[in-house]
Amino acid sequence: MQLKLTKSGQVYLPNCIRKDINLEPGDNIYIFVDNKAIILAKEACEKENQCILSNRGTLHIPVEIRRICKITSEMKFKAILNIEDRRIVLSKGYSETKG
């Protein structure tokens, strides 16, 4: 699945993703970087930033994370769900391939 960062640094998590890992508006989402990928987790991790999932399903990627990962506005990500760990992995530089 492809997700896009907005100009204001937000990413919209579609309802199907939120349901799969049991995210509700107001939930704390922990954000950290692992091997140049952004990890969004419902459970607290050792080193993380934190944000709150909005009623519309958006969350703000902190500026320091965007700087570390060299993320620009409107960048597209490949989103991979890890349902067991209740995490979403966002890999930057996603481009669709036809095949």
Give the pLDDT of residue 71: 86
> Please, is 15 exposed, middle or buried when counting C-beta atoms within 10 Å of its C-beta (0-12, 13-18, 19+)?
exposed
Q: Using CA atoms, how far apart are residues 83 and 60, in angstroms rounded to an integer?
A: 21
* Residue 25 domain flag: yes
* Residue 98 domain flag: no
Give the pLDDT of residue 70: 86
pLDDT digits (tens, 9 = 90+) for 85-96: 889 999 876 544
* Residue 6 domain flag: yes
Residue closest to 65 by CA, chosen among 88, 93, 31, 30: 31
Give the pLDDT of residue 97: 41
* Residue 99 domain flag: no
pLDDT digits (tens, 9 = 90+) for 45-99: 666 688 889 999 999 999 888 888 888 888 888 999 988 888 999 987 654 443 3
Query: pTM to 2 decimals?
Result: 0.80
Give the pLDDT of residue 47: 61
Per the structure, the count of domains in the chain is 1
Residue 64's domain comprises 2-92
pLDDT digits (tens, 9 = 90+) for 28-44: 899 988 887 899 988 77
Q: Using H for helix, E for strand and C for coil, what is the string for the chain? A: CEEEECCCCEEECCHHHHHHCCCCCCCEEEEEEECCEEEEECCCCCCCEEEECCCCCEEECCHHHHHHCCCCCCCEEEEEEECCCCEEEEEECCCCCCC
13 confidence band (pLDDT: 50, 70, 90): very high
Strand 28-34 vs strand 37-41: parallel, antiparallel, or unpaired? Answer: antiparallel
